[in-house]
Structure 1
Amino acid sequence: MGISRQCASKWVNRFKQVGDLGLQDRSSAPDHHPSATVTDIVVQIEAMRRTRK
């Protein structure tokens, strides 16, 4: 098959639980970012980068 047993098992289990939708590509990005920078600060940093380069 060209993939590890662990990977194949993961896909089989997804198919059993969800069906065809379980085989769709999924993002590897986490759903939750507990240590993410506060949005207000991100906006300020972006503004400073644009003006001060």
Structure 2
Amino acid sequence: MPWNVKDTMSLREEFICLASGRTLPFSELCRRFNISRQTGYKWVERHRTQGGEGLADQSRRPHHSPMRSSDQTVALVLELRRQHGWGGRKIERRLRDLGHANVPAPATITEILRRHGLIHERDS
């Protein structure tokens, strides 16, 4: 006998169908699908505002990152690395000596270098 396998989207669509029919109390419906009432209301609201696409998993990535280093700062860091081959601590010190405002921490500079492929894992 085969397993009764259902994907997440079909379960969510079934939940919405039963929730819109209002044949069961909402709490009982959520218990049957093994979800919290908060999650059930979230799915109903998403379906109401976005339709079927609202039931798909959504990205948790933030819309903006206010503490992110500016493109200008990243360009300065990369340029100093290419010119001198320095690491995060020395680049941070040099940017401060040059009078730049909002200089990132040495660990942040090192992460910028890693992200752009200028530091390899085996080297650190």
TM norm structure 1: 0.71
Report the Cα distance in structure 2 between the residues aligned to 1:8 and 1:37, rounded to whole angstroms. 38
User: Over aligned residues, Cα RMSD in angstroms?
Assistant: 1.7
* Identity score, percent: 33
Which residue of structure 1 lines up, in the alignment, with residue 91 of structure 2?
none
Task: Please identify runs of 4+ aligned residues in structure 1 that moved more than 2 A.
Answer: none
- The answer on 1:33 being equivalent to 2:70 is no
Counterpart residue identity of residue 68, structure 2: A
Which residue of structure 2 lines up, in the alignment, with residue 11 of structure 1?
43
Structure 1 residue runs without a partner (length 5+): none
Structure 2 residue runs without a partner (length 5+): 1-32, 78-111
Report the Cα distance in structure 2 between the residues aligned to 1:37 and 1:11, rounded to whole angstroms. 36
Tell me the SS of whatever aligns to 2:63: coil
Residues 7-37 of structure 1, C-alpha deviations (whole Å, 9 max, x = no match)? 1101100000110011111111111111123
Report the Cα distance in structure 2 between the residues aligned to 1:37 and 1:2, rounded to whole angstroms. 42
Report the Cα distance in structure 2 between the residues aligned to 1:29 and 1:19, rounded to whole angstroms. 22
